[in-house]
Structure 1
Amino acid sequence: MHKNMLRLILSVLLLLTIFIGCTKSDVKPETIKIGFIGPLTGDVSFLGDIDKSATEIAVEEINANGGVLDKRLRIIYEDGKCTGSGGLSAANKLVNIDDVKILLVSCGQEVLTVSPVAENKEVILFATYATHPDISKLGDFVFRNSYSDADIAEIASNTIIQKYKRIGLISEQTDYTKGLADAFKAKFEEVGGEIVEESFASGTTDFRGQLLKLKDLDAIFINPSGLAQGELILKQLGELGYAKSLYGNYFGGSNQIQQLSESQGMIFFSDPSVAENLKKQAYFDKYEAKTGKLPDLTFPAAARYDAVHILADAITFCKEVNSECVRDYLYDLKKYSGVLGTYGFDENGDLSGIAPSVSIIEDETASPYSVQ
């Protein structure tokens, strides 16, 4: 009888051991979810590719070092298409179905429609290449480590008015370009300038009708949403024989644009320059190893990489994904040292400590420009 009892006990212990072993192997480590909304398709998919690669590199680094609070970061990717409707659809899925408490958002058009969802649900919205001026007043849970087009408008107006009182402006009809155009027109007129404006719908490939109305002016400001439209405008201006002064928005910072013969001499107002530092060198070495090339636009690649690390630091500080705590952490952050440099956030959740740059394209490269 004792032998039977002993056999029974041993059998139960064996079964428990097998059960516990199987249970341990079947349990997946708990994760911290972050939502990604960016243009993975469409005219601005080049930005989505940059943001996705930068996000993946930062997440791989964090997870390789134990994750956050002993949990792995997991990114849920959604295609916002850099449009208001695309961003809203992605946000509703991520917030209401996937139950994420933090959103990484790429474009200003997406931020404008996603922010009401974020504010209503008290979800952190962290934007990395969203420059629309209205983002400054969208709410307490909205942050960006990108500059504002209000800054671009002021710098551009003060630069151009030194040489020209009357210029042409050709803008794409999107939320981003309209925000910049409106801010620039207001500032340029404020300092005594006059603007002759033409616009075009997204997807347009022939701009000659608009350009013919501007070609007699001594200077033209080109304000596209994507690189493709900017390139076509430059080429068609060249075909029309325009050889006067050109100004541009962020698209001038593209290596692809800088190689064009038609872009030589163009002054553009855009991303702050990313200063050389050890973090930058190490990160971009990883970026090139991962993608086989360096990013065409340096600033969004650096901003997105920093953003993931900032959010990981915030969650660690809060000891959980607590939206109110993360929000307060970000407002209190004044001297973060990242790939972009040293910066923080102001009372509106805007980038503080780094300003946009003015550059000129010469010999197929961009260099700092100062008014002579």
Structure 2
Amino acid sequence: MERRSPARRVRRALLPRPQSPRTARLVRLDSESRALRELRDALLRTPREIPCKYFYDDAGSALFEQITRLPEYFPTRTERALLEARASAIVESAGGRKLTDVVELGSGAASKTVSLLDAALAAGGRPRYVAIDISAHALRRTQEILEAARPEIPVEQVLADYTGDLQLPAKPAGGRRLVLFLGGTIGNDEDEQAIKLLSRVREHMEPDDLLLLGANLITDPAAIHLAYNDAAGVTAAFNRNLLLNVNSFARSNFDPEKFDHYAPYIVEKRRIEMWLVAREAIEVRLGRLAGTLKLARGEGIRTEISRRFSREEALRLIDAAGFTPERWIESPDARFGLALGLARASLRGL
């Protein structure tokens, strides 16, 4: 039986009290005019799209935490097990006790990062953890988790959209920085945009700093499909909740209940595509985006791509962005890989 209004129910239950996280520091978000233009352009292109960053309001971040605990969703637990098994070797490569900064892009709740921080402490270091996320909810959860689990680790939070201009706190003189981009998030972009993003990250790193990139690997299509089409409907609620976040920002009037969640694994493209498909003919007032959007029954809006990579493809990405591949670490079931790259002084390009 189909779940009715899951996004609204979850959103009401999970929205926090109207206060800012005390430790979050707003560095820079896209200007409203730029963000509105980006969103309007995405909705008017073919295929119609909404940037996947709109998944991550408070309710969406809480829903994603639920997704990572679902039996169907193997990527998070596979990556976590891999990090736990190889944390000491990763930290040793990053300088051991000389590691002074662990920076995580899209930190979420930082639950996978604790093993790396433990390894750094065991090596005699005490690195600062810098969490960067677009979601204040995720940053609050990061603070809660690390205060409880590792109170000796200093935490600095950056509330920002790392897909735009990125600013990081200065690294201590003589220290080494390890930047984490985990969760397979690199698969949300095509190669050109992925390389541009990683290249911007490299600009905040010195030679001999390291990048740790997590990549979903090509595996059983049926298992991948199930990971994005769970029986409990949590991923469907997560997908529909994006429209409520768009409404909040753009003052539009999307009705999530008029859309079906559709997330096929496209074998020839080796990727999941998440869509919201209109159940009936719809006319949406776009509010601050100006005008209306007309959708025919069965017409969709793409909300995410999630690509799968081979080892060679993942290493090629970091090499093109200015990192020399140092190590490849792969899960025993070959479903997830970690690429460790050393920052170079110059780009080689594609």
Q: Same fold (TM over 0.5)?
A: no
Report the TM-score, using the length of structure 1 for normalisation. 0.34
Using CA pairs below 8 Å that are at least 6 residues apart, which structure has the higher relative contact order? 2
Q: Compare CA radii of gyration and give the structure with the larger one.
A: 1
TM-score by length of 2: 0.35
